[in-house]
Amino acid sequence: MLRPATSPLRPPVAAEGLDIPLALPRIDLALLGGFRFQCRPGCGLCCFAEPAVTAAERHQLVQIEPELEFVEGARGWAFLTSRPNGGACELLTDTRCRAHAARPTPCQQFPITVHVSDRAQASLVLSCPGIDAAGILRWSGGPPIPVGPRGLDAELDAADAEWVRSGTERELDRHAIRRGRSISLHDLAALRAGLHRELPWPVDEDFPSEEPPDPSDGLAGLPVTFVPGHGRVAFATHAGGWMLFELSEVGDEPGTLGVIPPPTATPEVTTQGEQLLRGYLHYLLERDDAVEGVLAQEAPEGSVEEGLAADLIRTAATVLSRASVLQRLDGRDGALDAADLWEGVRATDAEWLDRPTTGRRF
Ligand code: SF4
Ligand code: SF4
């Protein structure tokens, strides 16, 4: 089914303690347009997480698994626990959720995430290998003509339901967002348009890119991606390059796949590979979550435009580096093509979102 480019208009919600009712704005769905999604059997990547649960969801889950443990969070929220050594959520067995029918909202709406700032904007967690690359290729020349999303109906229904359920709270949060610097929506749109016209691009001096974290700080904090033939592969810093680990679902000691040096200069890419990376950078520029990160900097260096450009360059260098390392893990070398770059995007994207898989918004 083809959806309109915004979710249905939501009914007004009375804000407790305020004189005026707040009408919930529609969720902007433009960043979902043109993508296709089908969950990949045997993946389980999104379950290497500690999803947030409401009190009602918690109640349902303990009916199914009375021994289930939770981490207590602020404002009545709780989180499911994950296993040691970067293992998966306690409810995952053989890449299947034992409480699928009662899984919490972040799991129901994944790979959709909704970021709230000047608007409520749905975005896709491109780390999910169930999303195909065609959607991001539509962006290679800049923001494409908006179309409704396909194949995400159940996930969008869950996101809509969550928006209605917690909308008032989120609306109040929206006004409480603290920014290190302010910029009008008009100026922000003009700034984005300028960067779309002249997309920042990394040069040799931007390599080697940022290092992944040290594994001694905890395997759960490492960037992780799904690699066919290996499973969930995590990147960590190492004296000889980047150490790659295969994470175990049940939290056993992870398997080591080897140490691969990241590129020290801009890797060669094919024309299609460049188009895919361009598409991703254009997509990031329109993602409010990515822009908010720059606006929220408390001690910014340079202008907002310079901050955004620097972030895009840093991300592009990370994508290229991870694509290159994964290509070598696969026993190949040579120019990175679109498939390699898509692997690099998938290995990088979750780091740009405030709630990649866990729903830790509050
Ligand atoms: S990451 Fe995507 S493909 Fe993998 S299990 Fe989750 S929804 Fe399915
Ligand atoms: S509760 Fe969520 S994160 Fe945990 S196994 Fe089920 S779907 Fe995965």
Other CB atoms closer than 10 Å to residue 32's CB: what's the count? 28
Q: Residue 261's closest CA among 239, 231, 232?
A: 239
Instruction: Report the distance separating Cα 49 and Cα 350, nearest Å.
Output: 12
Walking along the chain (362 residues) 10 residues at a time, the average pLDDT comes out as 41 40 73 92 91 90 94 82 92 95 92 84 93 95 88 90 73 52 84 97 96 90 92 94 95 94 98 98 93 78 90 96 97 97 95 51 31
> Which ligand is closest to the CA of 91, given by its number?
2
Please state the atom number of ligand 2 nearest to the C-alpha of residue 91: 5
Q: The tokens of 184 are what?
A: 């009008």
Q: The tokens of 349 are what?
A: 């994207």
The residue extents of the domains of the chain are: 12-179, 204-350
What's the pLDDT at 295?
82
Which residues, 6 or more positions from 27, have their beta carbon under 8 angstroms from its beta carbon? Answer: 6, 7, 114, 120, 121, 122, 159, 160, 163
Instruction: Report the distance separating Cα 188 and Cα 299, nearest Å.
Output: 19
Instruction: Report the distance separating Cα 174 and Cα 153, nearest Å.
Output: 26
CB of residue 51 inside a 6 A radius of ligand 1:
no
The one-letter amino acid code at 160 reads D
Beta bridge partners of 255: 246
Instruction: Give me ligand 1 centre to Cα 130, in Å.
Output: 6
CB of residue 30 inside a 6 A radius of ligand 2:
no
**Which of 36, 37, 43, 249 should be mutated for ligand 1, with most atoms under 8 A from CB?**
43
Exposure string for 38-59, b = 16+ CB within 10 A, e = fewer = eeeeebbbbbbbbbbbbeebbe
Residue whose token pair is 């040069």: 203
Instruction: Report the distance separating Cα 305 and Cα 311, nearest Å.
Output: 10
Contact 132, 275 (CB under 8 A): no
Instruction: Report the distance separating Cα 319 and Cα 310, nearest Å.
Output: 14
What's the pLDDT at 7?
46
Which residues, 6 or more positions from 175, have their beta carbon under 8 angstroms from its beta carbon? Answer: none
What's the pLDDT at 181?
64
Instruction: Give me ligand 2 centre to Cα 47, in Å.
Output: 5
The 112-116 sheet, strands edge to edge = 27-28, 120-124, 112-116
R_g over Cα of the chain: 20
Residue whose token pair is 């460049």: 274
What's the pLDDT at 173?
56
How far are the Cα atoms of 18, 117, 168 from residue 21, in angstroms, in the given order? 7, 19, 9
